[in-house]
Amino acid sequence: MSNNENNPQVLLVDDSIDVHRLLTARLRHEQIRLVGLTRGAEALEQVRKDPPSVILLDLDMPDMDGFEVLRALKDDQSTNNIPVIVLSGLHGSEDKVTAFDLGATDYVTKPFDLAELRARLRAALRLDRLLKLLAERADVDGLTGLGNRAHFNKRWAEKVAECRRYGHALSLAIIDIDFFKKVNDTFGHPAGDEVIQGVARLLQTTCRSPDVPCRFGGEEFALIMPNTGPRDAEMVVERLREAMMQIEWPRHPDHKVTLSVGLVGSDSSCGDVTGEQWLEMADQNLYSAKHGGRNRVVASDIQRACALNRAA
């Protein structure tokens, strides 16, 4: 079951069944889903499978103690941001310092005051929400609301890996606004921003739900089209190009803006073609579209494009 923002999962790791029973009863009015485990190794496995919003972690446990669990959590990029509240009967300041140095968010000593524990848990849940929001914002382009280059890099790596592993079709379009500098120089930067936002809106309305539109940088956009071979992808971007020509811009109603598109795709596994090679090929096609007179789509099959490139 995945983590849900309205009912976040809290993982309790403690070797004492009495503590599990107590917290299950005492936290039942909180808006959380409490999952309990008694062993550190099991907890690490569970966290990687279904990351919780907060971990309540005992230190003194057999086999793998809480310090080891904490170290493993913080060494793993996929789990190192999960807030960890240490619940421990170890009262020494040395243990507290070690726990905080290893990355614990908070330290509560047993026997704990339930009201205080609830308040600390709520604070850790708030921290988790803020960290997630920050991570989301870091991937969003401020002007358009589309994913930014960092977001593209992540998603693109995933999709290329899927294409290789499972033989899924995949296409990538690099879309560039023609003569964008002229729009900026002639009508001013606000007009340029409006064009960029307009292209982003168009991408959002023209794309299908699995497609991933991103602002690649400046006046360039990238469109990842999963499960889509080059022919279907070409239809999608042709639709986009034609729709762009229909837009009337309030700041320059007599000046139409067009798009050039470099597209590459594969109907099946892309073999050993790397993500970078895909980008290079899409860029080459964009270059051809620009040199062919702009306002056009140049598309090719990635395998064929790579073979031609090798032969050249």
Binding residue for other proteins (CB under 8 A) from 4, 5, 7, 25?
Answer: 25
Q: Does residue number 36 form part of the binding site for other proteins (CB under 8 A)?
A: no
Of 16-24, 42-50, 214-222, 267-275: span binding other proteins (CB under 8 A): 16-24
- Tell me the CA distances in angstroms from 70 to 57, 96, 262, one per residue in order: 8, 13, 47
Give the nearer residue to other proteins in terms of CB position, either 23 or 200.
23
For 310, how many CA atoms within 13 A lie in the half-sphere containing its CB? 7
Alpha carbon separation from 98 to 73, 107, 257 (Å, rounded):
15, 11, 60
Q: Tell me how many residues contact other proteins (CB under 8 A).
A: 16
Q: By CB under 8 A, tell whether 62 contacts other proteins.
A: yes
CA-to-CA distance for 122 and 127, rounded, in angstroms? 9
Structure tokens at 309: 């490139």
Residue 250 contacts other proteins per CB under 8 A: no
229-248 footprint of other proteins as x/- string (CB under 8 A): --------------------
Asked whether position 293 contacts other proteins by CB under 8 A, the answer is no
- Span of 56-64, 177-185, 204-212, 276-284 interacting with other proteins by CB under 8 A: 56-64
Residue in 3, 15, 64, 238 binding other proteins, rule: CB under 8 A? 15
Q: Does 19 bind other proteins (CB under 8 A)?
A: yes
Smallest gap from Cβ 130 to other proteins, in A, equals: 30
3-class SS of residue 251: coil
> Is 69 a binder of other proteins (CB under 8 A)?
no
User: What 3-state class would DSSP assign to 241?
Assistant: helix
Three-state secondary structure call for residue 25: helix
Stretch that binds other proteins, among 18-26, 48-56, 189-197, 284-292 (CB under 8 A): 18-26
Q: What share of the chain is helix, strand, coil (3-state, %, to 5)?
A: 50, 20, 30
Concatenated DSSP letters of 82-132:
S-EEEEES---HHHHHHHHHHT-SEEEESSPPHHHHHHHHHHHHHHHHHHH
Shortest distance (Å) from residue 16 CB to other proteins? 4
Does residue 22 interact with other proteins by CB under 8 A? yes
Q: Which of 118, 57, 115 is nearest to 86 (CA)?
A: 57
Give the footprint of other proteins on this chain (CB under 8 A). Answer: 15-16, 18-19, 21-22, 25-26, 58, 60, 62, 89, 110-112, 114
